């Protein structure tokens, strides 16, 4: 915390936040929504987020006859007394020293500030705000030590901290606690073009680097595995997870030809069969296929008669076969014929086979059990029907396996039986978590179960308002880029205490490289400039094989390292 105060608290409440009048020597233009400020009370110290900025006047007559813009002398005379700047703060955390700390301050000459300042380290106990500071408490800009006290440090040996970005106006890392992050389902939100995929790749890189969990990524647009296009006017690419962590990430593909065309030579093929499709899978893609509830009811009759082979049996039936079947089993011929026509569209999916002699899903499970991170690419099979069907089929079986492992662990209590924490990443998440179907899909089940079976979701979406409210209330950490739609903004703050104070913060984000983080993995909401996903990041986080890099990249990385070490 800097020694120079910015302003003083003039009024406020615990529910509505604090109003602060800026001192005359502080320009309102220095204040930005999302800034991190500290209020020094009589006993406690309050860590706050700036939520609004406004101008005020002591006398409305000034506005009736304002001074000329060229009259700098009159403007300076009025500044601070007759005219002033106001900011609104939302208190998020507070620190109150014990009686022993108060009686033995480290800097007794300055009992109002110095004794507190000495306590700003990772060991202080920060608590939720239960009160507010007194009138005229001084407000200060946060220091690097304040950020470290609240958000920790990436090299903390006691926690898996990962630096995800920096504050808007300071060069100090903001960390999230990855252990807390992976134990609940989380979300990355933002409208199209705000960098959700880059932010997601950043988070997963941190999870891999810190070994916080294993990841299963359903890569709809082939952006996470090998490489991805970089946004901007110039055509260039950034490295995918396989390039950063060649020994830890495996790529499976549902479209081998597309994957090879993009230069990925070591991806493993993955096929699914019709007998692996359950009615739950068909229900999920019912809207895409145009299947009615009546047809799904008749699908239950077919499954009861033919078991897992019911789809192949149906596709091979003639109209006469269907009529005869309905006479014997009391089905509806029209609904079954309609179901047959709709399911014929599945023949267009390249990864579906009549039968698979090899169980590819078990192969994916074996990779996850071995601690490998798996990216499943869709290639040209990235339409919503294809993506939703394959994702649901694979996830349902993997979740079923994890339930069995978790139950065994609860019985034996043996550390060797404990399943690895699994994070499943899905895009276009509102398609899976819509309120109409969420209670019937495996993704709704995982989101509601939280960490009970060691499986959580990382949902990536541009329309959070399309996600069921109950599921949104269970999302532990929300990392949100710019959103414009009021419904989407409301959805972000579902189940969040004090969400109204943060609405203006979210609405004022830049369209690139800025995000609001709130929830389980951070002690308080914070606005960040997201960490750059570039050559420096590759060197800091990946398993770099220097022998394969061009000489200029090696020299550039060496110069960066020398500069950081002060040589």
Give the tokens for residue 287. Answer: 């809207």
Query: What confidence tier does 116 reach under pLDDT thresholds 50, 70, 90?
Result: very low
Query: What's the number of CA atoms in the CB half-sphere (13 Å) around residue 141?
Result: 16
Contact 379, 259 (CB under 8 A): yes
pLDDT digits (tens, 9 = 90+) for 396-407: 999 989 999 999
Residue 445 DSSP SS3: helix
The mean pLDDT of the chain is 83
pLDDT value at position 3? 73
pLDDT value at position 456? 92
pLDDT value at position 223? 86
State the sign of the Cα–Cα–Cα–Cα dihedral 207, 208, 211, 214.
positive
Query: What's the number of CA atoms in the CB half-sphere (13 Å) around residue 75?
Result: 8
* In the predicted structure, residue 114 carries a pLDDT above the cut 60: no
Q: How far apart are CA 522 and CA 175, in angstroms?
A: 8
pLDDT digits (tens, 9 = 90+) for 291-305: 888 888 888 888 888
* In the predicted structure, residue 492 carries a pLDDT above the cut 50: yes
Average pLDDT in the 148-175 region?
87
State the sign of the Cα–Cα–Cα–Cα dihedral 348, 350, 351, 356.
positive
pLDDT value at position 119? 41
pLDDT digits (tens, 9 = 90+) for 442-488: 888 888 876 688 999 999 999 999 998 888 888 989 999 988 888 99
Query: What's the number of CA atoms in the CB half-sphere (13 Å) around residue 100?
Result: 0
Query: Mean pLDDT lowest for which of 210-219, 430-439, 536-545?
Result: 536-545
Contact 163, 175 (CB under 8 A): yes
State the sign of the Cα–Cα–Cα–Cα dihedral 59, 63, 67, 69.
positive
* In the predicted structure, residue 242 carries a pLDDT above the cut 50: yes
Q: How far apart are CA 35 and CA 48, in angstroms?
A: 8
C-alpha distance from residue 192 to each of 16, 40, 231, 441, 484 (Å) = 32, 40, 12, 26, 11
pLDDT digits (tens, 9 = 90+) for 86-103: 999 999 899 887 665 555
pLDDT value at position 77? 61
Query: What confidence tier does 155 reach under pLDDT thresholds 50, 70, 90?
Result: confident
DSSP string spanning 218-237?
EETTS-SSSEEEPPSSS--E
Average pLDDT in the 178-198 region?
90
Average pLDDT in the 185-189 region?
93
Give the whole-number percent of the chain exceeding pLDDT 90.
25
pLDDT value at position 549? 44
How many residues make up the chain in this entry?
A: 567
Exposure string (b/e) for 331-356, b if CB count within 10 Å is 16 or more?
bbeebbbbbbebbeebeebbbbeeeb
pLDDT value at position 80? 60
Average pLDDT in the 316-337 region?
87
Kindly report whether the global pTM for this prediction surpasses the value 0.85. no
Q: How far apart are the first and last CA of the chain?
A: 30
């Amino acid at each position: 915390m800097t020694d120079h105060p910015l302003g003083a608290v003039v009024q406020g409440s615990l529910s509505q936040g604090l109003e602060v009048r800026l001192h005359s020597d502080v320009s309102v233009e220095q204040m930005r929504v999302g800034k991190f400020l500290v209020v020094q009370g009589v006993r406690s110290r309050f860590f706050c987020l700036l939520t609004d900025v406004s101008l005020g006047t002591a006398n409305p007559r000034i506005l009736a006859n304002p001074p000329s813009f060229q009259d700098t002398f009159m403007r300076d005379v009025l500044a601070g007394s007759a005219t002033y700047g106001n900011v609104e703060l939302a208190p998020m955390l507070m620190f109150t020293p014990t009686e022993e700390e108060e009686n033995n301050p480290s800097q007794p000459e300055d009992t109002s500030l110095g004794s507190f300042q000495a306590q700003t380290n990772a060991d202080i106990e920060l608590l939720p705000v239960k009160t507010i500071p007194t009138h005229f408490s001084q407000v200060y800009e946060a220091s690097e030590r304040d950020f470290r006290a609240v958000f920790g440090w990436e090299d903390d040996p006691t926690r898996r901290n990962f630096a995800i970005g920096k504050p808007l106006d300071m060069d100090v890392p903001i960390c999230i606690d990855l252990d807390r992050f992976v134990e609940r389902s989380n979300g990355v939100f933002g409208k199209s073009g705000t960098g959700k995929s880059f932010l997601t790749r950043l988070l997963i890189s941190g999870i891999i680097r810190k070994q916080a969990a294993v990841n299963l990524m359903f890569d709809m647009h082939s952006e996470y595995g090998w490489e991805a296009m970089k946004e901007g006017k110039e055509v260039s690419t950034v490295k995918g997870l396989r390039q950063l962590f060649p020994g830890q990430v495996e790529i499976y593909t549902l479209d081998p030809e597309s994957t090879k065309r993009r230069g990925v030579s070591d991806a493993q093929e993955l096929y699914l069969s019709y007998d692996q499709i359950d009615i739950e899978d068909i229900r999920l893609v019912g809207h895409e296929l145009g299947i009615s509830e009546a047809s799904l009811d008749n699908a239950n009759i077919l499954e009861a008669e033919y078991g897992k082979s019911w789809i192949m049996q149906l596709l091979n039936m003639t109209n006469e076969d269907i009529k005869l079947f309905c006479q014997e089993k009391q089905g509806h011929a029209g609904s079954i014929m309609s179901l047959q026509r709709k399911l014929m569209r599945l023949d267009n999916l390249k990864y579906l086979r009549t039968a698979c002699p090899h169980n590819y899903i078990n192969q994916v499970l074996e990779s996850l059990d071995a601690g490998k991170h798996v990216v499943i690419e869709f290639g040209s099979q990235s339409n919503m029907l294809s993506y939703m069907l394959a994702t649901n089929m694979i996830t349902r079986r993997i979740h079923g396996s994890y339930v069995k492992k978790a139950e065994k662990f609860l019985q034996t209590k043996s550390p060797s039986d404990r399943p690895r924490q699994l994070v499943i990443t899905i895009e276009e998440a509102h398609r899976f978590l819509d309120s109409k179907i969420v209670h019937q899909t495996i993704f709704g089940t995982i989101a509601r179960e939280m960490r009970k079976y060691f499986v959580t979701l990382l949902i990536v979406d541009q329309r959070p308002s399309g996600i069921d409210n109950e599921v949104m209330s269970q999302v532990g950490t929300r990392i949100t880029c710019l959103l414009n739609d009021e419904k989407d903004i409301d959805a972000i703050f579902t189940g969040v205490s004090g969400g109204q104070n943060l609405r203006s913060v979210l609405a004022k984000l830049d369209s690139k490289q800025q995000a609001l983080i709130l929830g389980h993995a951070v002690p308080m909401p914070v606005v960040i400039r997201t960490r750059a996903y570039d050559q420096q990041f590759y060197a800091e986080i990946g398993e770099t094989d220097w022998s394969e890099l061009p000489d200029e990249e090696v020299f550039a990385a060496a110069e960066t390292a020398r500069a950081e070490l002060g040589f």
